[in-house]
Amino acid sequence: MVTDTILRLEGLVKHYPIRKGLFNKQVATKRVVDGVDLEIPGGQTVALVGESGCGKSTLLNIIAGLLEPSSGKVLVDGVEVKGTGVDRGVVFQQYALFPWLTVKKNVEFGLKLKKDITPQQREETAMKYIKMVGLEKFVDSYPKELSGGMKQRVAIARAYAVNPSLLLMDEPFGALDAQTRTQLQTELLRTWEEEKKTCFFITHDVEEAILLASKVIIMSARPGRIREVLDIDIPYPRTQETKILP
Ligand code: ADP
């Protein structure tokens, strides 16, 4: 197993401007993330939990490079994050697929940013991950022809395809029904066994965090800080039955 630190957060702070007063002219700031330090070793699956509005998505979006921190920094493999990059694959709750592209083209999309691969390698890689998520019969389908669970599988395949150092997932199963969620959790457990990727994901479901993660980070609200980091010592491979272990 890889053990080097993949992700390091140093003194991360994020405040948002808030407008109030007459004609919203008065600008104040709201401190959402308030000095977060964190280290995540390679090969681990880490869950971030905390009450709604405590700053989890803000933190993940900063790591993804979609938001700039007000101060502090994010290092991935020792390199400071400055915007988005193929070293980080991101999966959102709402699929974020391109509706005008087929499943295959959606998965290939991120690979186009990689300069060192040929169109044929791009296609082979896309097909490998489409197979991994069991959608080989739907390569030429468009997102609107797929169920929510299938769309999320495409998003997961797309994130894996670029072979990122770090997978970031913001409530990846939050929009799915209970049965589909259970099915995708089981698939992810299997995939993680095979790929051993470092994964940082947000969930509001503590059972899901314990099922999937080797570390659970609990974030507190106002101020948004790391309250506790728990090691989940249940050995892998885990199954859905892990949830009901005493
Ligand atoms: P969580 O993911 O834990 O639910 P978020 O990171 O989405 O929390 O939001 C944390 C807080 O920051 C919330 O109070 C939210 O309303 C606020 N917030 C999020 N995005 C913005 C923004 N762009 N401008 C102002 N406030 C924001």
Residue at 141: amino acid letter: S
Tell me if 119 CB under 6 Å of ligand 1.
Answer: no
CA of residue 170 to ligand 1 center, whole Å: 13
Identify the residue whose C-alpha is closest to ligand 1 atom 18.
16
Q: Which atom of ligand 1 is nearest to the CA of 170?
A: 2
Expressed in percent and rounded to 5, the helix, strand and coil fractions of the chain are 35, 30, 35
Would you say 67 and 53 are in contact if contact means Cβ atoms under 8 Å apart?
A: no
Would you say 135 and 157 are in contact if contact means Cβ atoms under 8 Å apart?
A: yes
**What's the pLDDT score for residue 51?**
92
Q: Which atom of ligand 1 is nearest to the CA of 18?
A: 25
- Ligand 1 pocket mutation pick from 15, 16, 168, 202 by most atoms within 8 angstroms of CB: 16
Reduce the DSSP state of residue 155 to 3 states and report it: helix
Name the pTM for this structure. Answer: 0.91
Q: Which atom of ligand 1 is nearest to the CA of 202?
A: 2
Q: Which residues of the chain carry a pLDDT beneath 70?
A: 1-3, 26, 244-246
CA of residue 55 to ligand 1 center, whole Å: 6
**What's the pLDDT score for residue 238?**
86
Burial of 42 from C-beta contacts in 10 A (0-12 / 13-18 / 19+)? middle
How far apart are the C-alpha atoms of 96 and 106, rounded to whole Å? 10
**What's the pLDDT score for residue 235?**
87
Identify the residue whose C-alpha is closest to ligand 1 atom 19.
58
CA of residue 206 to ligand 1 center, whole Å: 21
